[in-house]
Chain A
Amino acid sequence: MDSSVRAILSDLEVRTPRGRLIYALITIALLLLAVVVVVPFIYAFTSGLKTSREVFSTTFQLFPAAANWDNYGQAWDYFNLPRLFVNTTFLVIGGLLVQLSVSMLAAYSLSKLKPIGGRFLLIGFLTTLMIPGIAYIIPLYVTAARLGLLGSYWGLWLSYGVNAFMIFILKNFFDGLPPEIFDSARVDGASALQIFAHIVLPLSRPILIVLSILTFVNLWKDFLWPYLVLLGNPELQPISVALFVVEQRSATPPNIQMAGYFMAMLPPLIIAIVMQRYMQRGLSLGAVKG
């Protein structure tokens, strides 16, 4: 994005003394807001460095007298963070693969293979977007229980195959690919699967990257469904579920809690900062939907 482009105020106006003042005030206001936004992160980080006496001090003191890095080591073991990170990664990558492959295949079929009743099916997929999953979490849970899917990652992985939004985005993307490529491949005798593997997949790389990052972050954030499915199997719980369960069960000292929470927030924060361009493009896909 071009940062130098004018908006409400023209470049000329910004250079007048009044304009300079207004511009400075806007900058200060936005910087203050930025500070407010990051305070919870900083507070978590510095509280994690405090002694158990300091975290209960009545006076405001953002930074401790001395940094107790030890707390971070303790929290690492106390919450068993390595296992939680492994669990979450495993769960999220599996869910991502299922969601991407199911959606890709369906979108490709709807876009290029002309199934009878395809329009009807697409509408059927899209109606699920109108009812947020949380509204039918009870019958979903009952279904998973009766199918014996509780307590394992399969209950989550398979259910992550449902993403009408992704089917919709991918179908639109495939619709926009030049039909000549497909026609000539078909004339050359390529099967639907060959066309999918050798033409569609390579061409979709850019959009797949964007969708993967978006889905990765979204699945990493998921809480209620993993909580319900893995309630009986603490070994497998991902990070938000496990932190909640520990918080409910035991009185953990606040400095250890905060050290743990800060470390738990780091991976998504790093991904968001490193991949910010993809993330924001992914969000604009959402805006297209809107």
Chain B
Amino acid sequence: MNLPLRKERAVAVNRSPIKWREQFVAYLFLLPALAAFTVFAWWPILNSIVMSFQQVDLMDAGASTWVGFRNYERMFADPTFAASWRNSFEFAGLSILIGFFVPVLVAVLVNEMRAAKSFFRIVYFLPSVIPPLIGILVWQLIYSPQPGGLLNQVVIGLGGTRAGWLQDVSLVKPSILVIMTWGGFGATMLIYLAALQDLPIELYEAAEIDGAHPWDRIRFITLPYLRPTMLVLLIVQVLGIVQIFMEPLVLTEGGPGQSTMTPVFTLYRKGFLNGDYGLAAAWSVLLMIVLGALSLVYLRTTRTAQQ
């Protein structure tokens, strides 16, 4: 320890005065990122707060007028407000039932395979790589209530009756979640598979020697091992659910009734269809608070998951 100490001190003495030329160069390299983040992230985030207290003129910041808390009052008084957030909760709850366990189960099963693992990985992953919008357009025709709709053809072929998958209040949310699960479970499954690869096989072998039945191995080894990852991905899923937008935009326009109105879709309509940017900014601020809080929870869980 003695010898390097001298060296370190020498270095420290050398570096203590700020070398302005080096700093200039360092910041020159940072400049593009600083400019991009300022214009396209930091400023808009701050400006959403400013705008939420204004009646906003799109082109001329100077022509915007201050309106105090009126945008927030209007937001809370709007019946769509309660409906949108209630829908988010319902979507989140349902998605835990419909979508959350699919990738866990599939990952465990794929990991059991002695061959063709990579075949399943790539096939399940395919829906994740196409633009979600195009996937939704295809699903629109699968769900179609018209004679050509694939799902109704199958249901009728099996002896059932025609259903309005996107027109029936009780079916529309599960139908949308099926699309989202189709589009996302393959990528999520890969994360679980990576976690399963890290599970030491010795644990299974030891359990076997102790006479543990395969079910017990799942219950006492596999699932506890995956639990931290599941917790993290649960929050990721909720984060995604709060941002549901394209499905209402393309498939339902928030209907039937208001059953697929979501915060982002409402924000989009207030801002871009009505040109009411101040009101939309109030929605933005609330959304940022909710999503930011969820991200904090996410950070917390990842940190504990890593320990």
Contact = CB atoms under 8 A, between A and B. Distances in A.
Whether A associates with B in a native complex is: yes
Interface of A: 1, 3-10, 13-14, 23, 26-27, 29-30, 33-34, 37-41, 43-44, 47, 55-61, 101-103, 105-106, 108-110, 113-116, 118, 121, 124-125, 128-143, 145-147, 158-159, 161-162, 164, 167, 191-192, 196, 217, 220-224, 228, 239-241, 243-244, 247, 254, 257-258, 261, 264-265, 268-269, 271-273, 276, 279-280, 283-284, 286-287, 290
B277 A265 contact: no
Given A56-B146, A134-B264, A146-B59, 5 more contacts: A6-B114, A26-B109, A124-B37, A139-B45, A192-B29
Given A37-B124, A40-B127, A268-B129, A130 B41 contact: no
A257 B127 CA distance: 18
Interface of B: 18, 22-23, 25-27, 29-30, 32-37, 39-45, 47-48, 51, 56, 58-61, 106, 108-118, 120-127, 129-135, 137-139, 141-142, 144, 146-148, 150, 153-154, 156-157, 182, 186-187, 190-191, 194, 196-197, 201, 204-205, 208, 214, 217-218, 221-222, 232, 236, 239, 243, 245-246, 250, 264, 267-268, 271-272, 277, 280-281, 283-284, 287-288, 291-292, 295-296, 299, 302
A58 to B, nearest CB: 5
Contacts of A43: 138, 141-142, 150
Nearest to B179: A40
A265 B292 contact: no
Contacts of B30: 105-106, 109-110, 115, 121
Nearest to A246: B137
B221 to A, nearest CB: 8
CB-based closest 8 A-B pairs: A161-B36, A106-B33, A113-B26, A109-B29, A115-B26, A130-B295, A139-B44, A60-B153
Given A40-B127, A105-B29, A287-B191, A1 B133 contact: no
A26 B137 CA distance: 32
Contacts of B277: 138, 142
A167 B33 contact: yes
A128 B41 CA distance: 7
A102 B296 CA distance: 27
Nearest to A220: B131
A8 B25 CA distance: 55
A239 B186 contact: no
B112 A158 contact: no
Contacts of B117: 1, 3
A27 B299 CA distance: 37
Contact of A244 (B137, B138, B144, B295): B137
Nearest to B186: A37
Contacts, number: 314
Given A56-B147, A223-B133, A40 B182 contact: yes
B131 A240 contact: yes
Contact of A30 (B110, B125, B186, B214): B110
Nearest to B305: A290
User: Chain B: interface secondary structure?
Assistant: helix
A217 B288 CA distance: 26
A269 B190 contact: no
A158 B39 CA distance: 9
Given A9-B214, A132-B239, A224-B245, A244 B201 contact: no
A283 B60 CA distance: 42
Nearest to B132: A221
6 contacts: A7-B204, A130-B295, A132-B239, A272-B129, A273-B126, A284-B194
A138 B132 CA distance: 21
A10 to B, nearest CB: 6
User: Chain A: interface secondary structure?
Assistant: helix
Contacts of B47: 139, 142-143
Given A6-B204, A115-B26, A102 B36 contact: yes
B233 to A, nearest CB: 8
B129 A269 contact: yes
Nearest to B19: A114
Contacts of A276: 118, 121-122, 125
Contact of B129 (A7, A37, A240, A271): A271
Nearest to B217: A8
A26 B112 contact: yes
A56 B153 CA distance: 10
Contacts of A41: 126
Nearest to A103: B33
Contacts of A38: 123, 126
A26 B295 contact: no
Given A3-B116, A135-B291, A145-B59, A115 B134 contact: no
A239 B111 CA distance: 36
Contacts of B205: 10
Contact of A243 (B61, B137, B214, B221): B137
A241 to B, nearest CB: 8
Given A14-B114, A102-B32, A138-B280, A8 B197 contact: no
A113 B113 contact: no
A136 B284 contact: yes
B124 to A, nearest CB: 6
A15 B60 CA distance: 74
Contacts of B61: 146
